[in-house]
Amino acid sequence: MSLDLPRTEPRPDHPATDEVRRRLEHARITRLAQLKALDDAGPGPDDPLTSHQKEAIQRALKEIDDAVARLDRGTYGICQGCAKPVPPERLEILPHTRHCVTCQRRAA
């Protein structure tokens, strides 16, 4: 059995990739459950509030997919506004965010 040197050591200033993947996966499962709950209990697909909520959840799911893609590319956790690392505390609360607090405020 020949093993190459492991290349998966977590970088000290970033949460381990596996941990981030778990968080994103959890966020995805939560959103999918919310969508299903709306389908099951909502007044119907034509209700404006329901469709508005569904759009918001689908947008979040897209953000989560994008975050997984950034994780694969190695650009996860880098602010897309100022190219600085997003603080880990923020990524813990919003694992799919693409901006630091400053740039988020500027965009909002």
Taking the complex as a whole, how short is the minimal distance between the CB of residue 100 and Zn ion, in angstroms? 4
User: What span, in angstroms and rounded, lies between the C-alpha atoms of 40 and 54?
Assistant: 13
Taking the complex as a whole, how short is the minimal distance between the CB of residue 77 and Zn ion, in angstroms? 11
3-state secondary structure of 104: helix
* Footprint on this chain of Zn ion (rule: CB under 5 A): 79, 81-82, 100, 103
User: What span, in angstroms and rounded, lies between the C-alpha atoms of 98 and 40?
Assistant: 32
Closer residue to Zn ion (CB): 61 or 94: 94
Taking the complex as a whole, how short is the minimal distance between the CB of residue 85 and Zn ion, in angstroms? 9
Closer residue to Zn ion (CB): 26 or 106: 106
Closer residue to Zn ion (CB): 24 or 97: 97
Q: What single string gives the DSSP state of each residue in 48-76?
A: HHHHHHHHHHHHHHHHHHHHHHHHHHT-T
